[in-house]
Amino acid sequence: MSKFKRYWLGPVCPEVTEIQTRSSGGAFTTRNMVTVAFLAALSAMLQSMGGILPGIGFLISPFATAPIILGSVLSAGSGIIAYLLTILLLLFIQPSELIVFPFTTGLLALGLGISLVLLKSRLTVLLIGSISLFVGILFLLYVFRFPVLGPTVSSAFSLSVTTLLLGFCLLYCWVWVEMSKWIIRKLSKVI
């Protein structure tokens, strides 16, 4: 198998299966609940940084993706619960982030985390994650008419904006796939 095929079609992170095996035992249910609650709280805090610390907070808030991915790696149900808990926490902490998180950061994290568990190859994980982010942003932009891309981008459908957005989502998701792989490898040594 060539390097290109091995990179795109090979497994992204074999440690995911190892982490799932360790956390799936009945004795770890309390531990999993506490872990999911911690990950949701961490995700809510990171997501709310954009409103709490204007400027630098917008550089911190994209990292709210990582805790939801880690919750999804434990199990798909844990990822969904962490996602929903984060939304609930944002309702109290930073309601202005409540419309952005469920459709962008959170949806990307769920797509990446669940596809890391179920699909495993880098190409499919990348496609599922970027499609989930792409659909979420399109939904915000064209259905809710929320200026998620800033005031200069019109809420009227534009093929050029949509094409650029798809390219951005693919690139952004690829960065998150690689970061997730690195984080999961580091955590698998600790867990």
Supply the pTM of this predicted model.
0.90
Residue 3 lies in a domain: no
List beta partners, residue 121: 11
Does 4 reside within a domain?
A: no
Q: Which domain holds residue 84?
A: 13-190
Give how many domains the chain has, as a whole number: 1
Element (H, E) at 162: helix 159-190
> Is 163 contained in some domain?
yes
Question: Read out DSSP for 99-140?
Answer: THHHHTHHHHHHHHHHHHHHT-BHHHHHHHHHHHHHHHHHII
138 Cα distance to chain centroid: 17
Whether residue 14 has pLDDT greater than 90: no
CATH number, position 76: 1.10.1760
| Domain-embedded: residue 1 | no
Confidence class of residue 28 from pLDDT cuts 50, 70 and 90?
Answer: low
Q: Is 11 helix (H, G, I), strand (E, B) or coil?
A: strand
Residue 170, class by beta-carbon neighbours within 10 Å (0-12 exposed, 13-18 middle, 19+ buried)?
A: middle
pLDDT of residue 189 exceeding 60, the answer is yes
pLDDT digits (tens, 9 = 90+) for 37-96: 999 999 999 999 988 888 898 899 999 999 999 999 888 889 999 999 999 999 999 998
C-alpha angle 158-160-162 in degrees, rounded to nearest 5: 70
Angstrom distance (rounded) from CA 88 to CA 1: 46
Residue 127 has pLDDT above 80, yes or no: yes
Is residue 66 a part of any domain in this protein? yes
Is 2 inside any structural domain?
no
